[in-house]
Each structure stands twice: as structure tokens, then as C-alpha cells.
Structure 1
């Protein structure tokens, strides 16, 4: 209505003045004002919409803030109730950490014992043919692997003199370290064997192991309670049995020096007692 009256007024003024030029100028100004009014209305609508959105966000933030304040109160209450349990949990973690360190120390000591033992064995045996005697560490024990051609005649379980010299050196180490246990394993190739009372490779491997055990016990005074004799037959080869060289490698005797596990358990138990 206001826009119509303004327009009529402008026409009247134009007619009254009798000037087309003046009328045109006023009409141009009117159009500009009308355009600006339209833009202003659009901007106002946009501002109102933005205000509405902002109001919603403010309400959301207020709600979140309220919830956070409530949660902080709940957490404060919870921490008071669970403080003792949390402290006990921390103590448990500390104890477990000490236990892990104690176990690690025991394993480190065990590795040190094995390293010293290998050094002692190699020093005692001296310069032997590497093809006949091999010394290494496997699974927490020291293995002395001796080729049967170095110990016995083919198909026999009678020890030769050179073999007894090596066994004497091994026995010296064993007697100096009463904490060690010994296992003697006999191994053969897969060629069928039968002679006298020996029925097969099982019998031959066991007989060779017990022959060495008797020497260690009877000639060198090692307590038999520390020694185990085992025959493994042909069933744990280290090489192929398809060649002469492979079969020779499989015919062997292993003397295993085993640190008593009890001593490491005792060390661990002592460490656990120290925690109490």
C-alpha cells in the first residue's frame, strides 16, 4: 500500500512539475530504492534464519555443558569409591613387573651358565676333528655330538681307546659341575642291523648309549643318578640316508649336558620371596 501511494505521489509530482526529465529521475530513484528494499528484506530473512540456527546451537552447547558437569561429578564420586581398588591394581602391576624382571634375570643367568659350560667343554676336549666332534647349544642344553666312527667299530658297541680319552675329558667337566645332568643318546642310520642278541637298530643304539654310561659311571665315578641312557635308533636323522656320507653323519652318539632346571626354579622362587 505504501509503495502504491509513493508511486502515485511521484506521478503527481511529475505531472505537476511538467517535467519529463524530472519524472524520469524520480522513477529511477524509486526503482533503486525498491531494489535495495528487496535486498534488505532478503538479508533480514537470512539473518533471522541464522539467528534461529545459532539459538539451536547455543541450546545444544548448554545441554552438552550440563551433561559434562554431571559426568564430572559422577566421575569424582566414582574415583572416590574405587580409589582403593585402583591402588591395589597398581600394586599388582608392580608385582607382575618385578616377577617378569626376575624371570628375565633367571633366563639371563641360565644363558650365562650355558655359555660358560660350552667354553669349558671346548677347552677340555681341545683340538679334535670337527667332523667327528661337534659342540653346540640347543634348547637350553649343551650337546656334544660324536661320530660313531670315532667311538665304535662298524656294527659294534665296544668303545675304542680314542673314544675313552674324549669321555674322560667330558667326565672331568661333569664331576666339576655336580649340578649338571647327563643324557647319552645313541643314533643309527636306516640300514637294517641284526647281530647276535641285537635284533635291530633300536638295540644297537641303546647298547652303544649304555656302554658309554657304564664308562662314565665305572671308570670316572659319575653318580649314575645323574645319567640317562637313551637309544633313538634311526628315527632322528641329521642327514639323508641315501648317501654314504649322510648315513655316516646319522651314525652318532650325543652326550647332552643339562643344567638342572631346579636351580633356576629355586632362583625364581627366591626372587618371588623377596617381593613379599
Structure 2
């Protein structure tokens, strides 16, 4: 199913807030990342999904869905999320920028957008991109 959808695919691992320190995982950061990597490997089986579309990340306990005060809450926080990042269509982006310009001209100007054809471009120096 993921191979049929357009867009970048983000595989995000998460943990509960119980600290882990084992020979396999030094921290919740490693555990959450390992969870995401395991899912990525499973998705790559069969060579259907293009790995260039995929990014893998681990968030440890920093983005809980539920309270870590209960067993059920901690269980919900131990997860892997698959996010398809499709972005905004150009018509939707143009309409949003027009609205922003009318509603908050100061914020709009602070974005320093340049109109080059159909799509606005952020004026960034290469040294600002990491």
C-alpha cells in the first residue's frame, strides 16, 4: 500500500518514559530508533518500496500519545508511526499565502518569500541548510 502512495515516508519510533540501559540499547533513543529501523527493514522486503523515499527516526519518550502514569498509557507510547508526507498542492499553497498576506502582513513579509513563477521560494544561503 505504501508503494502506491506518493510522498516521502517517515518511520518514527517511540518509547515510554521508563529509562532503558542494556547491552543492546544504551538509552530510549537507541530503542526507539531500533524499533523504527526494524519496521523499515520489514517494509523493504520484496523490493517493492523505494528506500530513497524513506527516513527513519527515533524520538525516545519525547512525544507521548498518552500519560506514562498508567500501564495502558505506557503501552500506547511504545509504538512506531508511519507518516506519509505529501506536502501541499500548489493551488492550496498559493491560497494559503494570499490569506496569510491579508491576515498578517508583518508575518508574511518576515518570511521573505520571493515570487518566482508559480511557487514561492525561501531565500536561504547554502550554509543555513543542514
TM-score, normalization by structure 2: 0.64
- Displaced runs of 4+ in structure 1, greater than 6 A? none
Unaligned stretches of 5+ residues in structure 2: 95-114, 120-130
Is 1:200 aligned with 2:27? yes
Counterpart in the other structure of 1:228: 55
Counting only pairs closer than 5 Å after superposition, residues 40-59 of structure 1 correspond to structure 2 as: none
Q: Which runs of 5+ in 1 are unaligned?
A: 1-172
1:257 and 2:84 aligned: yes
1:256 aligns to what SS in structure 2? strand
Partner of 1:238: 65
Between the two proteins, the alignment pairs up a number of residues equal to 97
Root mean square deviation, CA, Å: 2.6
Which structure has the highest strand share of the two?
A: 2
Higher helix share: 1
Are 1:175 and 2:3 an aligned pair?
yes
**8 Å Cα contact 1:181/1:260 also seen in 2:** no
Using the alignment, how far apart are the partners of 1:215 and 1:183 within structure 2? 14
Query: Does 1:218 pair with 2:45?
Result: yes
Q: How far apart, CA to CA, are the structure 1 residues paired with 2:14 and 2:44?
A: 21
- After TM superposition, give the deviation of residue 194 of structure 1 in Å: 2.1
Q: Cα deviation per residue 1:181-204 (whole Å; 9 max; x = unaligned)?
A: 110111100111122231011100
Deviation per CA, 1:92-141: give whole Å up to 9, x if none.
xxxxxxxxxxxxxxxxxxxxxxxxxxxxxxxxxxxxxxxxxxxxxxxxxx
Distance, in Å, in 1 between the alignment partners of 2:90 and 2:43 is 28
**Distance apart, 1:260 and its partner CA:** 4.5
Tell me the secondary structure at the aligned position of residue 55 of structure 2. Answer: strand
Report the structure number with the largest CA radius of gyration: 1
| Cα distance, 1:266–1:219 mapped onto 2, change above 3 Å | farther
1:239, CA displacement in angstroms? 1.4
Q: Distance in 2 between matches of 1:202 and 1:272?
A: 41
The reply to whether residue 209 of structure 1 matches residue 36 of structure 2 is yes
**TM-score, normalising length: structure 1:** 0.32
Higher-RCO chain (CA-CA 8 Å, sequence separation at least 6): 2
**Cα deviations by residue, 1:57-114 (Å, 9 ceiling, x for unpaired):** xxxxxxxxxxxxxxxxxxxxxxxxxxxxxxxxxxxxxxxxxxxxxxxxxxxxxxxxxx
